[in-house]
Structure formats: C-alpha cells, structure tokens
Amino acid sequence: MNPKHFPGRVAVRALTGLLALLLALGALTPGAAFAKKSPYDKVLEDLPAMRDFQPPAVTREELPNGMVLYLVEDHDLPLIRASAMIRAGSIYEPAAKVGLADLVGTVMRSGGSERYPGDKMDVLLEDMGASVETGMSDASASASLRCLTENFDQVLDIFADVLRHPAFPEDKIELARTQMKTGISRRNDDASEIAQREIAKLYYGADSPYARQLEYDTLAAIDRGDMVKYHEYFYHPNNVILTVGGDFDTATMVTALRAAFDDWERVETFYPPDPVLSETPMSVNLVEKDDVNQSKVRMGHLGIRWDDEYLFPLQVLNQILGGGFSSRLFSELRSKRELAYGVWAWMITGNHHRMPFTVGIDTKSESTVEAIGLIIDELNKVREEPVTPEELSRAKEGLKNSFVFNFSSPFSIASRKASYEFYGRPQDFLDTYLAKVDAVTADDILQAARARIHPDQMAILVVGKSEDFDAPLSSLGFGEPNLIDVTIPSPTLDVELPPTTPENLDAGAALMAQAVKAFGGAKALDAVKSLRFDADFVLQETGMGPMTFGVVTQREGDTRMRVETTTPFGNMTQILTKDAGWIVSPRGKKAVTGQDLADMWKGERSNPLYLLRHLDAYKAQSLGTESLDGVDCDVVYLHGEGDEGYKLYLGPEHLIRGMEYKDEGQAGPVMNLTLAKDYEKTGGIAFARNMEINHDGTLFAVLKVKTVAVNPTLDASLFSEPSE
C-alpha cells in the first residue's frame, strides 16, 4: 500500500497494532492505562505524534435527474466500492404491514432483476469475487457494490438493474418470509435482545414506527404487490445519494454513472411528517425470565439529534461516564464493586431523529437493585459537580483518537460526507470536529448534563429472575414495576367455521363414535397403556435434498414419553414426564420446564389416539363433506380449550385420512395438514403406516412407520433424568 495517497494511514495502523500488542501483553489493563508509569510508557513516548486529520479531496456531482454523486479516488488497490443511500425506510411502511420494508430490502438482492435473477447473479458475482447488497433501516434504504477495477462495468450494470428493476420473485419472497418468521419465533431466546427491543418501546411507544414490532400477522399481510408499490414509490434517482471510491479516474467514473442512471426518470415523492416524539415517562419495568442467573438492565430516555446545541459536550460526557475502561461507570461498578459483567453508557447522536440515551449493565441477579441505585447516583453526580481536568483531558483524547481511526480510508470519509447531505448535516462537520471537541470545557459538560440527563425521567427495564433479586424493584422508590408480557402472539390461522348448532354437534358426535369403532373400539383404545414406534422421518426442505432421521418413540400413557432420534449430525434423546423434561444432544443436556414443558405436552394432543381417547374434552362439530386427496370425506371439527382445535377428515371407512390444525413449525406457527395412509391393525388398533406432513400447503416431511408395538413392557429408567 502506498501511503502517499492517504497521509498518515500507515502510521496510524502501525500505532493501532502496537497498542493491540501492548494490551495483549497486559501493559494496558483496564484502569492501569492511565495510572502509574510502566516500562512501556517509554515506547509510547518515542512514537511519532499523530498527524493532523487531513481528509482527502471528495468530488460532488449531481446528475440531471437529481441523483447526487460523491466520488473519491484511491489507487492503493485495484478495487472500487460504491454505496447508495435511498430516502426510504421502515418508518414509511403501514402499521398493519410491519416488515414490508425489510422484505423489500432483502428480496431486492436475493431475487435480483429480470436480467439478473438472484441465483444467476450469485454465480456471476462469485466468479468475479464481487458483491452487490441491498438493505433497509428505519429511515433509509441502502445498496452497495464491491469489485475489482477490471470488473466494474459489469458489476455496475448488475447493481443499477437491481436498484432500478428488482423482480421480487415469489419463491424468494417466501424464503425471506420464512426466515423472518424464524426470527419472530426465536426473539425471546436471548435476554439481551429482549432488553434492546422492549426498552425501545418504552422510549418511543410500542406503536411508534421507531419501535413497533414485526409479528406473524403483519408479515402474513404483505404480498408481492405491496413490495412492488413500495419500490415504485420511493426508489427514484432524486431520492438517492451514491458514494463511489477506489481505483478510477473521476471524469471517467462520472461518464459511466451517467450511462447507468441518466435515463432513470425523476419523480417527486411525498413523504409523510416524521413521527411525533414525546418524552419518556418515569417507569420501572420487569420482564420475567426464569432461566437466567443475571439481569439485563437498560435505563434511559430520549436523547439528541445531530443538531442539538449540547452535541459536543455530551459526546465528551458520554466518554467520561461510560465510554471505556477508565469511565466512571466501569470504574465504580465493575473495577471497584465487581457488580458488572459489562456496563456502558450510550448517548447516540441521531441523524434522522432523536436517539436514546441509555445506560446498560449486565449484573448477577443478586446485585440488580444495588447496581441500578449506583447508576442513578453516578448520573446525579454529573449533574451536580464538574468533571475533573484529568477526566476532561482523557475523554477528549479518546474521542479524537477514535475519530481518526473511524476514517481509515478515503471511501469512509466520502461516505460520511454523503450521509451528512442525506440527513441535512453541515458539510464542514469533519473539518471542525476536532476543534469543537477541544473547545469543550468542564462547565459546558455540567450545563449539558443538567439540560439533557434526567435520572428522574428514565424508563428502567430489567430482564431477569425477580425472585433472586437483592431487593424488590419497588424499593428503588419509583413505585411498583410494570410487568411486561413478551409472549409472542400466535398468527391468525383462520378456519372457516359455521356456528355450532345442536344438529351439527349431534352429527359430529355420531361421526366420532364411528371413528372410535373404526380404530378398534373404545375398549381396545382404553386398554392401550404403552406404545413403541420405530419410524423413518424424511425431512423435505433441508437445502440439501430430503434427509432421513431414524425415530424411536416409547410412551407410557399420557404422562411419560421418550423419543430417540438418529441424525447425520449426532443423536438426540427427548424425555418428557408430567413434571420434568430433558433434551440430550451433542451440545449437552438441557432441562425442559415450565411453559416449554407444557407446550411440548400440548403438542402431543394432535396424536389421533390421544384425541380418540379424550373425546369428552372436545366438542365435535360436523362440517359436512369435503374432498381430500381425491377421496370424499366427512369433516368434523374438534373444539378444544381456547384456540385449540382440529379439523378431521374421515374417509369412507371412518378412519382419519387427514388432520388440519395450528402447529409450531421450524420458522414459527404454521397450519399443519397431515395426510394419513396405509392403515394396518396392531394389537387390535388401526395405525397409519405412512403420513405426509404439510406446513402452510408445502410438503414438510414424510413419516414412514416401520414397526408398532402395543403395550410393550417399558423400563421405568427410560423416563428418568439422563446423565449427559
């Protein structure tokens, strides 16, 4: 790399590497980095002074259609990068279709265009070692490319076609939808994710475009037409700022970009007013999570935007308060009191809207309330007395050093300038940043803290196990905590049902009585005390073709069950009793308790034998006749508690040929339609030997039963807690 193209870059990287080495050797440990001199101080003193920040020359051009270009040459490597910002974002999607913007941002790339379908594009880009990506955030959309100089013309053609003419093919939409459903189903797995999501709702309001949440129903409400309309509304050249950096001649690059975008027609877009923000009301909030031994605490309120009068004093204050190993929060709560796994403060500067001021700490459950109280004390201190000269100097140096490291390439600087125009920030921000940081005084920080830090107006959120806390959250003095329910709403999987009447209930009961008789009769069904099945489970949608798993199921009544699964990746054993459960896999043993255990047993109710043995727990409603898989069937709907229900298709022999119900799929709730075939009797009971399992109309798996044993002797140890 030739340093003459970007003065100071090599020296900065060398310094960064040396600092990393010293940290690895233990020379700069937290708290010691600014304490007494060490033998390594002489090494640091001999390093050359960091050069003044000298941004490279960046050219701004505007095409006749309103598209703005930021161009910067960098001939160190034969590479070209480009990044577009588009005035779109999730804040502009309808509340009933949350997820629309993200779907657009994902499928623009995965689906490609008519000329460059997604899969074909993948191959082309891989062959060139290039990339084209698209994305979406709350108040902007993005598109980017990266390639060798020699391939730029072709990659630009792909990039421009995807940006202007995305195809939005249905298969890629459904793939993205499935991935997003998986995200919904797993969103409560991680306590940190829960904390981040729920504190945003407290700051902005749960219905605010800045915090509202993707749900199964909002995702299901989106179709391809919505995506096409969204793209057609927002994606116009006068809504785009494109940054290009790398190994090119500026005049030649402008010519290439004109050829790619000049015929893109300008269209004026009406943007609705930005969402109104209101101040955070003081509150203490709790998300109960009983499978953790530490608390995730997040507390704060709405902060600032880039044009706030206290911007620079607050950035320095944030560094002093929670910006590193020597910060007040780190020193007090971790180094001194050893209460924190991690503690930090973020005064995020919003570009489009006010972002939050947040203090976060991860602490053991038994120190939760103490830690919150100490954080409040530290926040009050910065409002009451000036910071020390040493803190002020150290924070300024930290900000200035990180500022230079943030701009390690000409492209990063050009991109930052482009973002300033996109959000209306002054173009001289980079040039004046260091001087404005230097000008901050202790009194400036005190005034800023009093104006923008409000401990008595914070939303406090704890994700943890409250029975292990050192004291009740109410002891903080802010009232009883609000209990936040993070239960994931089930999707609306509508089954068209007529009203129940005495006539259709009587008819339903009669049909189910015939089904009981067809399966072997009530006496034979009641005599079943234990079962053993040996089957092959053939999973269809794996990305690598169908994959077969061996499954052995052993169960004793409705209270104990053991399932052993053989997979290409290792074996798994699942043991359930009414009071406890365990899953043993190559990752180890995991206990199944509480709601998870209840949900797993609830899933077992879809077993036809269970339903036939417990018909008194359901209302059977006749729905007439329907054709299923080419066979006319009597249809009965079994109404259970709440939203539990099963639509049964009874064939001419009164056996269950199909069952439709709400189920939990790999990517969240689905409508399960299982087709049962090839019935044979074992022990006087009819069992289907082959089953086709469909999720939302797509074949998910095939179950092939090899052997069935009725009332085998099962050792009690099969259902005991396993070792690892």
- Among 89-98, 120-129, 309-318, 563-572, the range scoring the smallest mean pLDDT is 563-572
Task: Report d(CA 261, CA 640) in Å as an integer.
Answer: 60
According to the model, what pLDDT value does residue 243 have? 99
Examine the domain organization and report whether 476 and 514 are in the same domain: no
pLDDT-derived band of residue 279, with 50, 70 and 90 as boundaries?
Answer: confident
Examine the domain organization and report whether 64 and 180 are in the same domain: yes
Examine the domain organization and report whether 656 and 577 are in the same domain: yes
* For residues 270-284, average pLDDT: 90
The reply to whether 415 falls in a domain is: no
Q: Three-state DSSP class for 594?
A: helix
According to the model, what pLDDT value does residue 12 have? 33
* For residues 211-234, average pLDDT: 96
Task: Count CA within 13 A, CB hemisphere, residue 314.
Answer: 24
Task: Report d(CA 668, CA 253) in Å as an integer.
Answer: 47
pLDDT at 320 exceeding the cut of 80:
yes
Average pLDDT, the chain: 90
Examine the domain organization and report whether 322 and 244 are in the same domain: no
According to the model, what pLDDT value does residue 31 have? 35
The reply to whether 436 falls in a domain is: yes
According to the model, what pLDDT value does residue 18 have? 34
Examine the domain organization and report whether 198 and 301 are in the same domain: no
Q: Three-state DSSP class for 711?
A: coil
pLDDT in tens, 139-156: 999 999 999 999 999 999
pLDDT-derived band of residue 2, with 50, 70 and 90 as boundaries?
Answer: very low
Examine the domain organization and report whether 25 and 87 are in the same domain: no
pLDDT in tens, 379-395: 999 999 999 999 999 99
pLDDT at 27 exceeding the cut of 70:
no
Structure tokens belonging to residue 169: 């093919």
Examine the domain organization and report whether 256 and 161 are in the same domain: yes
Last residue of a domain, one of 33, 51, 69: 51
Name the more confident of 109 and 589: 109
pLDDT-derived band of residue 54, with 50, 70 and 90 as boundaries?
Answer: low
According to the model, what pLDDT value does residue 49 have? 53
pLDDT at 326 exceeding the cut of 90:
no
Calculate ∠ Cα 122-126-131, nearest 5°.
Answer: 75
What percent of the chain stands above pLDDT 70? 92
Task: Report d(CA 595, CA 487) in Å as an integer.
Answer: 11
pLDDT-derived band of residue 463, with 50, 70 and 90 as boundaries?
Answer: very high
Q: Three-state DSSP class for 213?
A: coil
Task: Report d(CA 282, CA 606) in Å as an integer.
Answer: 46
Task: Count CA within 13 A, CB hemisphere, residue 622.
Answer: 19
The reply to whether 420 falls in a domain is: no
- Nearest residue to 696 via CA among 723, 666, 722, 651: 666
The reply to whether 24 falls in a domain is: yes
pLDDT-derived band of residue 604, with 50, 70 and 90 as boundaries?
Answer: confident
According to the model, what pLDDT value does residue 430 have? 83
What percent of the chain stands above pLDDT 90? 77
pLDDT at 20 exceeding the cut of 90:
no
The reply to whether 496 falls in a domain is: no
The reply to whether 67 falls in a domain is: yes
Q: How far is CA 31 from the centre of its chain?
A: 34
Q: Say if residues 707 and 683 touch (Cβ distance below 8 Å).
A: no
pLDDT-derived band of residue 697, with 50, 70 and 90 as boundaries?
Answer: confident
Query: Regarding beta strands 631-639 and 283-288, do their DSSP bridges make them parallel or antiparallel, or are they unpaired?
Result: unpaired
How many other CB atoms are found less than 10 A from the CB of residue 692?
18
According to the model, what pLDDT value does residue 140 have? 97
The reply to whether 701 falls in a domain is: yes
pLDDT at 407 exceeding the cut of 80:
no
pLDDT at 708 exceeding the cut of 90:
yes
* For residues 30-41, average pLDDT: 37
The reply to whether 269 falls in a domain is: no
According to the model, what pLDDT value does residue 173 have? 97
According to the model, what pLDDT value does residue 671 have? 87
DSSP result, 170-212: HHHHHHHHHHHHHHHHTTTS-HHHHHHHHHHHHHH-TTSTTT-
Name the more confident of 9 and 213: 213
Q: Say if residues 296 and 195 touch (Cβ distance below 8 Å).
A: yes
pLDDT at 321 exceeding the cut of 70:
yes
Examine the domain organization and report whether 240 and 301 are in the same domain: no
pLDDT at 15 exceeding the cut of 50:
no
Q: Three-state DSSP class for 93?
A: coil
According to the model, what pLDDT value does residue 665 have? 77
Last residue of a domain, one of 51, 71, 89: 51
Q: Three-state DSSP class for 5?
A: helix
Examine the domain organization and report whether 126 and 173 are in the same domain: yes
Examine the domain organization and report whether 164 and 303 are in the same domain: no
Q: How far is CA 624 from the centre of its chain?
A: 44
Last residue of a domain, one of 232, 261, 290: 261
- Nearest residue to 537 via CA among 508, 557, 558, 566: 566
What are the two backbone dihedrals, phi and then psi, of residue 63, each rounded to the nearest 5 degrees? Answer: -75, 160
Examine the domain organization and report whether 473 and 514 are in the same domain: no
pLDDT at 647 exceeding the cut of 90:
yes
Q: How far is CA 268 from the centre of its chain?
A: 33
What are the residue ranges of helices labelled H in 26-135?
Answer: 41-46, 100-111, 118-128
pLDDT in tens, 224-237: 999 999 999 999 99
Examine the domain organization and report whether 93 and 39 are in the same domain: no
- Among 15-29, 510-524, 610-624, the range scoring the smallest mean pLDDT is 15-29
Domain count, the chain: 4
How many other CB atoms are found less than 10 A from the CB of residue 30?
15
According to the model, what pLDDT value does residue 14 have? 35
Report the predicted TM-score, pTM, of the whole model to 2 decimal places.
0.76
The arrangement of strands across the sheet holding 240-246 comes to 59-62, 68-73, 240-246, 79-86, 141-148, 131-136
* For residues 437-453, average pLDDT: 97
Range of the structural domain that residue 473 is part of: 279-405+429-483
pLDDT at 183 exceeding the cut of 50:
yes
CATH of residue 106's domain is 3.30.830.10
- In the block, tokens 């979406």 appear at 136
According to the model, what pLDDT value does residue 53 have? 55
Q: Say if residues 54 and 7 touch (Cβ distance below 8 Å).
A: yes
According to the model, what pLDDT value does residue 587 have? 85
pLDDT in tens, 499-542: 999 999 999 999 999 999 999 999 999 999 999 999 999 998 76
* For residues 210-227, average pLDDT: 96
According to the model, what pLDDT value does residue 380 have? 97
pLDDT at 13 exceeding the cut of 80:
no
According to the model, what pLDDT value does residue 51 have? 52
Sign of CA pseudo-dihedral 104, 109, 111, 117: positive
Q: Say if residues 86 and 240 touch (Cβ distance below 8 Å).
A: yes
